[in-house]
C-alpha cells in the first residue's frame, strides 16, 4: 500500500481527485473513493519479481563483500567493500525488478487504464515496444546504486555499534535495517521522482510542457521535473518513501539474517 501512495504522491501534475497532503489523507481518500483493495494493486507483479531479484541480490552481496574485505582489509569489515558489493548486487537485482516496477507503477496511477498485469504488459509491449520496460533502467541504477551503497554501509555501521560480535540478534537487525532504509530513502528521493516519471510517462505533466512522444533518459527527466515544480518537486513523496523503506528494509534484513543463521547453524552441526 505504501508503494502505491508513494507513486501517487510523486505525480507531478495529479488529477484534482488525486491530490493528497499527507500519507494518511492519501490512504483514506483512496480507500473511500476507489475501494478497500485498491492500495494493493500491483502486489502480484511485485511478488513475482521480488523472489529471484532478492536471491541474486543477497547472494552477490555476500560473495563480493567477503572477497573484497579479504583483499582490502585482510578479512576485516571494510565499509568500502560493503558499498561496492551492494552496488554490484544492485545491477542484478534491478535487471529483474525493473520490468515489474514499470508494470506496477502504471497500474497504481490514478485512473489507470490497465485492468490486469497481463493486459498492462501486452499494451506496453504493443504500443511502446520491449524497450519501455527498461526505459528507466539507467535512472533506476543511478538511484539504486547510491541507495544501496548508503544502505549497506549504514547497516554494517549500525551493526558495529549494536551487535559488535555479529551474533544473530533480531533486535539489532531490525533497528539497523530500519535506520539504513530511512537514511538511504531520504537521500535518493529526487532520483526516485525522476524514475517514477519515466516509468509512468505522466501524460498530463508531459502535455503541459508540450513534450511529444515518450520521455527517456535521466537528464531529460531531471529537466522536466524541475520545469514542472522546481526544487520542491524532487522531494515529492519523501514521507511515504521513508515510511515504506523503514519497515521494508527492517523486515528484509531480519528475515535474511534469520535464514543465514538457521542454515549456517545446521551446516555447522552437520560438520560437528
Matching residue, cell 543463521? 261
Q: Which three cell numbers stand for residue 243?
A: 515510511
Report the greatest alpha carbon distance in the chain. 70
Q: For position 200, what pLDDT does the model report?
A: 77
CA of 223: how far to CAs of 9, 196, 206, in Å? Answer: 19, 14, 12
Residue 150 Cα distances to 61, 138, 142, 147, 162, angstroms: 14, 18, 13, 5, 18
pLDDT at 20: 80
Per-block mean pLDDT, blocks of 10 residues, the chain (272 long): 74 76 84 83 84 89 88 78 89 90 86 87 90 83 85 92 90 96 92 83 75 77 87 89 91 92 75 63
Query: Can you tell me the distance from the alpha carbon of 148 to that of 64, in angstroms, rounded to the nearest whole number?
Result: 14
**At which residue does the C-alpha cell 508494470 appear?**
103
Distance between first and last Cα of the chain: 46
Is residue 261 helix, strand or coil? helix
Domain ranges, ordered by start, for the chain: 1-41, 52-128, 139-271
pTM: predicted TM-score of the whole model, two decimal places: 0.69
pLDDT at residue 268, as a whole number: 64
Amino acid at each position: 500500500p505504501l508503494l502505491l501512495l508513494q507513486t501517487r504522491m510523486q505525480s507531478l501534475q495529479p488529477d484534482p481527485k488525486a491530490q493528497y497532503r499527507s500519507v494518511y489523507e492519501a490512504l483514506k481518500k483512496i480507500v473511500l473513493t476507489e475501494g478497500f483493495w485498491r492500495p494493493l494493486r500491483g502486489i502480484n507483479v511485485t511478488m513475482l519479481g521480488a523472489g529471484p531479484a532478492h536471491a541474486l541480490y543477497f547472494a552477490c552481496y555476500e560473495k563480493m563483500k567477503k572477497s573484497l574485505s579479504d583483499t582490502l582489509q585482510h578479512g576485516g569489515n571494510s565499509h568500502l567493500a560493503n558499498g561496492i558489493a551492494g552496488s554490484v548486487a544492485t545491477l542484478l537485482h534491478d535487471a529483474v525488478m525493473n520490468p515489474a516496477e514499470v508494470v506496477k507503477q502504471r497500474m497504481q496511477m490514478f485512473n489507470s487504464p490497465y485492468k490486469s498485469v497481463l493486459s498492462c504488459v501486452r499494451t506496453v509491449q504493443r504500443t511502446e515496444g520491449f524497450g519501455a520496460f527498461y526505459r528507466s533502467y539507467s535512472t533506476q541504477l543511478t538511484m539504486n546504486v547510491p541507495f544501496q551503497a548508503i544502505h549497506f554501509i549504514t547497516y554494517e555501521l549500525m551493526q558495529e555499534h549494536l551487535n559488535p560480535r555479529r551474533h544473530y540478534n533480531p533486535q539489532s537487525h531490525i533497528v539497523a535495517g530500519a535506520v539504513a532504509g530511512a537514511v538511504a530513502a531520504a537521500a535518493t528521493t529526487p532520483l526516485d521522482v525522476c524514475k517514477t516519471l519515466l516509468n509512468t510517462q505522466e501524460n498530463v505533466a508531459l502535455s503541459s510542457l508540450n513534450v511529444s512522444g515518450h520521455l527517456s533518459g535521466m537528464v531529460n527527466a531531471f529537466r522536466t521535473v524541475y520545469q514542472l515544480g522546481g526544487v520542491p518537486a524532487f522531494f515529492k513523496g519523501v514521507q511515504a518513501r521513508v515510511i515504506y523503506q523503514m519497515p521494508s528494509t527492517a523486515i528484509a534484513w531480519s528475515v535474511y539474517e534469520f535464514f543465514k543463521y538457521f542454515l549456517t547453524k545446521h551446516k555447522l552441526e552437520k560438520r560437528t
